[in-house]
Structure 1
Amino acid sequence: MSEKLIRERNKLLLSVILFLILLIVEKTGILPFLPEHSLWYLPLYLIPYFLSGLSVVKECFLGIKNRRPFDEALLMTVATLGAFLSGEFAEAVAVMVFYQMGELFQSYAVGKSRKSIKELMDIVPELAHIEREDGTVDTVDPDEVEVGDMLLVKPGERVPVDGIVRQGESMVNTAALTGESVPREVFPGEKIISGCINGEGMLRVEALKAFEDSTVSKILELVEEASEKKSKAENFITKFARIYTPIVVYSALALAVLPSLGLFLGTKIGLVSPAFFAAHPPLTWLYRACTFLVVSCPCALVISVPLSFFGGIGAASREGVLVKGSNYLELVSKLKVVVSDKTGTLTKGNFAVQEIEPWEGISKEELLRTAAMAENGSTHPIGLSILSAYKKWMEDSSKANASPEDVVVENDPMKHSSGKESNTLPFPENTENRSGAGLISIVEGRKILVGKAKLLEEEGISVPQQEKGAATICLVAKDGQYLGRILIADEVKESSKEAVSKMKQQGIENVVMLTGDSTPVAEAVGRELCLDSVYGELLPAQKVEKVEEILSSLSGEGEKRSGYLAFIGDGINDAPVLSRADVGIAMGAMGSDAAIEAADVVIMDDDLSRIPTLIAIGKKTMRIAMQNIVFALAVKFLVLILSAVGLANMWAAVFGDVGVTVICIINAMRLMQNPKSI
């Protein structure tokens, strides 16, 4: 609890003690010099009233001054002043004290629900140690780090920017970023993201990004933006309160004036007996109007519904999932179709060369070397796998004069980035990427093509008909001559099959995969994961068209659709589809900046099992929000009617306002439990 909340709590506690003492004194009459119902009690009751409610009264008059009078402060101030005028001093103080108790409870609940999100603010590194060429070390602000700087990360410090480990081994804690409690081992060649905490070893890290472009900065931007995007339920409550508050104020005014005026005029013309008028004096109607105002306060709705969504976003963040707004949390709860990319999403994106199949008269060495020359310097997973295989062959051949036959190498994008290949492989003088087709490189004046049959055919190179397998096939040609093909396979993530199964348990009717990879490869992955539909050999524009087609198949239009569609992707080419889907979900650890920017939800550790948990959190958030709306409105309208006809006093009104608010807040706080139990 913050110091401010502690001060407010202590003030309120003192108010409650004084109020109870005065109530006992008044009801028991133990102080004979203060007669029962005497105005002497008024100044005494004003002490706990202003001690607890001075801030509310100030807020009321400030709202009137700024021409925004219709809020809870006005309702509470007018209601309590009316109770004082009616002679109900104890009830006036009780209303203010219990209202402030509800506000204090709300502040505590909001603070608790925001705790998991606020923890993200602590991931910001405070400093960075830059090692200069002369061996000196400068300690600077992370904003001053430039790409290429060599950073020293000491044990216990946070990594200031995204980078690559050049020296040292350690365990790093990524819990605040990914929700994963188990530390991850890093070693030379491994990428490391900003904000994670270094363990026991000293690390030398080369900066790959400036601080403003690093993971930690992107996360903070997402957190700041999340509160700005409201769900339909929250927007409904905001609009409801804006219309509802002035209506109840004028209704209370009418209740205070019109019955008394009507009865008075009735006595003058003989329609109402003076005895009936005397039994229902103006102060009675004023008291009923004040009761009406107290119970009409929309606190329960204004507080508990946004708190429910905020708690849902906080629960998701503890699971390593960043939701950019409560509107997306609402859409997640209504998903019926999940469409996913393949590489890096359902699969590891960890390509490895499986087979090398040269054409007649071409050696495996020449085929692999030619492909590696074209891909030298590439950052594409397929290119990296070819370079990794060539590096492995070089190492083996230097030891035992081995050939590249049956080379199978686990792809490590960082292990061949040190420049060793450049000692034997020339870099391309010019490179052209053909989206969805392949790569054309000019190396030492020779034109090399690596890609699909479509690419070679466009360049006028005939491709022999060969059997297609469940692997990515890279065809290679040089100077118009077909050299052969390299078969590359990608591993399915361990979590993918379980994630697909759990998504269906959460009500997802169709799980679809879209990929630019070959159809046989796509179908093999689809069978392994039990997907409902698989579409292969798609260009980025065709992925958008396919998503449009699936969206049109969902019944209804606009907000009246029976279900919504989410797309999961990680690459730059996925950005258009992420933007078009109802909910775009990006992989934060391996995903491109463009994909993360276009997405509505970011999974920080690339674990697909986070998605079923997110859907469960979204559904529970919606259930709790709707429970609070229905319960609050039902109780309020009931007490409103009873107070208007004089069957409910101000104590009932206090329950209808503060009591309902506290119950709704407690209900909303259920989202703060362990998300895995949802």
Structure 2
Amino acid sequence: MTKKQKKMLWRIIAAAALFVAAKLLEPQFTDVARTLVYLIPYAVIGWDVLWRAVRNIAHGQVFDENFLMALATVGAFATGECPEAVVVMLFYQVGELFQSYAVGKSRRSIAALMDIRPDYANIEVDGKLEEVDPEDVPVGGTIIVKAGERIPIDGQIIEGSSALDTAALTGESVPRDVAAGDAVISGCVNLTGLLRVRPTRAFGESTVAKILDLVENASEKKAKAENFITRFARWYTPAVVIAAVALTAIPALLLALLPAASLPGFLAGTAWTDWLHRALIFLVISCPCALVISVPLSFFGGIGGASKRGILVKGASYLEALAETETVVFDKTGTLTRGTFRVTAVHPTEGVSADDLVEYAALAENYSGHPISLSLREAYGKAVDTSRVTNVAEIAGHGVRAKVDGKTVCAGNGKLMDREGAPWHPCELPGTTVHITVDGFYAGHIVISDEIKEDAAEAIRALKAAGVRRTVMLTGDSSAVAADVAAQLKLDDYRAELLPGDKVDAVERLLSETSPSGRLAFVGDGINDAPVLTRADIGIAMGGLGSDAAIEAADIVLMDDKPSKIATAMRISRKTLRIVKQNIVFALGVKALVLLLGAFGMANMWEAVFADVGVAFIAILNATRALHVEKL
């Protein structure tokens, strides 16, 4: 509890004690003394509300909850209902205290989840470590990260090895092993060894700075429900004040002008002060605190809960849109597949061993940096003796020709085989096929494939279970490879052999096929999918850990490489929307009922207090459930 909250708690206790004392001594006082005695606890508990009401009126902001409470309680004093005035203000301040505590708790929960900003960085000066502000560390310098410390700046390890805790960024508890040469990002915790890191970017451009900026600014992008409440409150409060004035003025006018015999039944036996009292009860009931606080708090909690699971949502509007998603479109490489190639099949010609075929291919491809070449060298599994390789020539769009142990080895696609006049044959397996000839003899072929991510199939099943009607994959890969991946994952549709511009066109067509109330989400790796991420209703970037493009282009960023987090994000969004709708229906329903009862004299000030403070209390409690997403 903050100092401000503790101070308010003591004010509530003091005012309550003074009120009880005034109530016990009330029979001994005259009317004037009675009013003065009750003014003491009223002033203790309500002076700040009265001051805010006066200040806001002076600034042109008349119709807010401070004005309503001030008008209702001052009016109660004017009609002799002093105890009710004190009780209403007392319960209002209790509600405000609880509201402040609930909002503060939600903010602290999110702050704890996103407490990734490092306080210092270690640099070495004359053989000793000095702590400096991370913003003062230059790019290309050297920082030292001890075990238990948070990595302050994105960089590359130049010495040491360790395990990193990335839970604050990804929500995953499994440590990640790193060693010299590996890139590390700010916000991770060094668990074991000492690391020397060379910063590769300034702190202001680091991952942790971008994430913190994203979370801090998320509240600026309001959901439709939040905008509705803002507009509603703008018109609602003046309307209820006018209604309260009418509730007093019209009966008072009729009572003054009409003889008693001709008064309508609802006015019979009443005085104008009775209607003033009803109007004051009406004002207390009408306070829109429950809606104004609980709806933003629900979205705030949903965003915070998603952050806990390693899902960064850039605003409540995107959380709301995600709940309405009916079509999910995936990029293939890096999203549904790992984006790392490996040898999946080796088919040598008779008389050639599989090991020899891989060795020839790895040696011939040794000088290429292409992912296919890297996968061939990985399959070879040995250090390449470069002295065995000479006369290397890359043939664009075809492959490689080189001398290996004095023999001419060609490794490439079918076009290269045709060019060499080799009697090759296609492979029925999906993937990229590398054909090899040795001195013109066709030695066989090797199939290299991109691996499907472990939880990709589960992700598709979870999305179907969550109500997504259509799942589509877009890829620049061949139709055969796309068809194989789509079949394994049970996708509804796919588009293959697409250029980046074609992907935008494909999303445009899919958007036209989406229902008016539905939304389309595109999921990509955030590196080369920025145009499509921007065009979709919701852009979701996979593996945002360290990816600037992901954080900049997408509306929602998944901080790890697991597509199953998409269904989790969708469940969080739908839970948040359910809570928002529950609060709106509950608050408006209770207030409408008690307002009617108050207008007809069937509700007293205690029911009014429940309709205001009680409803706000329940709605805020319900809103805080949005933070709890561990089991989603």
Match of 2:405 in 1: none
Q: Does 1:321 align with 2:311?
A: yes
Residue in structure 1 matched with residue 29 of structure 2 by the alignment: 34
Cα distance per residue 1:88-143 (max 9 Å; x no partner): 011111111111111111111112222232125531112222458x9776643212
Tell me, what secondary structure is at the counterpart of 1:345? coil
> In structure 2, what is the equivalent of residue 151 of structure 1?
143
What is the SS of the residue equivalent to 1:19?
helix
From 234, 247, 251, give the equivalent of 2:226. Answer: 234
- Equivalent residue for 1:250? 242
> C-alpha deviations, 1:563-608, integer Å up to 9, x for none?
2111111142211111111111112445732232111111112222
Q: CA deviation at 1:184?
A: 2.6
After TM superposition, the structure 1 = structure 2 runs for residues 351-370 of structure 1, keeping only pairs within 5 Å, are 351-354=341-344, 368=362
Q: Determine if contact 1:320/1:604 at 8 Å carries over to the other structure.
A: yes
1:642 pairs, out of 583, 597, 614, with 597
Quote the residue 2:555 is aligned against: 600
Q: Secondary structure at the match of 1:572?
A: coil
Deviation at 1:50, TM superposition (A): 2.1
CA deviation digits over 1:267-287, x for unaligned, max 9?
A: 39x8449x9989422221211
* Mapped partners of 2:183, 2:587: distance in 1: 51
Among 531, 534, 548, the alignment partner of 2:508 is: 548
The answer to whether the 8 Å contact 1:300/1:662 transfers is yes
Q: Give the aligned partner of residue 523 of structure 1.
A: 483
Query: Which residue does the alignment assign to 2:323?
Result: 333
1:115 paired residue among 108, 111, 136? 108
Identify the range of structure 1 (294-303 vs 188-197) with the bigger mean alpha-carbon deviation.
Answer: 188-197
Partner of 1:8: 8
Shift of 1:39: 2.5
2:556 pairs with 1:626? no
Deviation at 1:529, TM superposition (A): 1.8
> Contact 1:149–1:207 at 8 Å: present in 2 too?
yes
Greater mean alpha carbon deviation, residues 93-102 or residues 580-589: 580-589
Deviation at 1:486, TM superposition (A): 6.7
Q: Distance in 1 between matches of 2:3 and 2:192?
A: 35
Does the 8 Å contact 2:343/2:448 carry over to 1? yes
C-alpha distance in 2, partners of 1:6/1:180?
Answer: 37
Q: Is the CA contact 1:373–1:427 (under 8 Å) kept in the aligned structure 2? A: no
- Alpha-carbon distance in structure 2 between the residues aligned to 1:452 and 1:65: 79
Tell me the distance in 1 between the aligned counterparts of 2:285 and 2:546: 51
2:407 corresponds in structure 1 to none
532-541 vs 655-664, which deviates more? 532-541
Aligned counterparts, 1:180-329, within 5 A: 180-267=172-259, 271-272=262-263, 279-329=269-319
Counterpart among 584, 596, 617 of residue 539 in structure 2: 584
Write out aligned runs for 1:72-83 (5 A): 72-83=65-76
**What is the aligned-residue identity percentage?**
50
- Between stretches 75-84 and 546-555, larger displacement belongs to 546-555
Aligned amino acid, residue 605 of structure 1: D
Unaligned ranges ≥5, structure 2: 350-355, 401-409
TM-score by length of 2: 0.87
Partner of 1:408: none
Q: Does 1:494 align with 2:494?
A: no
1:142 alignment partner in structure 2 = 134
Would you say 1:84 and 2:77 are equivalent positions?
yes
Q: Distance in 1 between matches of 2:348 and 2:124?
A: 48
Q: What is residue 386 of structure 1 aligned with on the other side?
A: 373
Q: Which runs of 5+ in 1 are unaligned?
A: 376-382, 404-423, 441-448
Q: 1:347 is matched with which residue: 322, 328, 337?
A: 337
Call closer, same or farther: CA 1:103–1:451 in 2, change over 3 Å: farther
- CA distance in 2 between partners of 1:24 and 1:340 (Å): 71
Conserved? CA contact 1:309–1:326, under 8 Å: yes
Which 10-residue stretch deviates more, 165-174 or 574-583?
Answer: 165-174
Q: Which residue of 2 aligns with 1:379?
A: none
Name the Cα RMSD after superposition. 3.7
CA offset at residue 181 of structure 1?
2.5
Q: Does the aligned pair in 1 maintain the 2:364–2:411 contact within 8 Å?
A: no
Question: Which amino acid counterpart does residue 167 of structure 1 have in structure 2?
Answer: E
Higher mean Cα deviation, 544-553 or 183-192? 183-192
Q: CA deviation at 1:631?
A: 1.1
CA distance in 2, matches of 1:203, 1:497: 37
Distance 1:234 1:14, change over 3 A: same
Aligned-partner Cα distance in 1 for 2:391–2:102 = 62
In structure 2, the residue matched to 1:575 is: 530
1:5–1:104 CA contact under 8 A, matched in 2: yes
One-letter code aligned to 1:583:
I
Segment of structure 1 superposing worse, 385-394 or 155-164: 385-394
Q: Measure, in 1, the Cα distance between the counterparts of 2:512 and 2:244.
A: 50
Cα separation, partners in 2 of 1:394 and 1:616, compared to 1, 3 Å: closer
Matched, 1:471 2:431: yes
The reply on whether 1:676 has 2:630 as its aligned counterpart is yes
Residue number among 52, 64, 71 corresponding to 2:64 in the alignment? 71
In the alignment, which residue of structure 2 is the partner of 1:52?
A: 45
Shift of 1:517: 1.8
The CA distance in 2 between the partners of 1:218 and 1:462, in whole Å, is 55
Is contact 2:124–2:143 with CA below 8 Å preserved after alignment? Answer: yes
Matching residue within 460, 466, 476 for 1:506: 466
Offset of residue 630 of structure 1: 0.9
Relative to structure 1, the CA distance from residue 507 to residue 539 in structure 2 (aligned partners, 3 Å threshold; closer, same or farther) is same
Cα displacement (A) at 1:670: 2.0
Q: Deviations over 1:378-414 (max 9, x none)?
A: xxxxx34524644785944449x999xxxxxxxxxxx
Q: Which moved more, 1:155-164 or 1:518-527?
A: 518-527
CA change 1:263–1:307 in 2 (3 A) is same
| Partner Cα separation in structure 2 for residue 331 and residue 122 of structure 1 | 27
One-letter identity of the residue aligned with 1:567: F
Matched residue type, 2:609: V
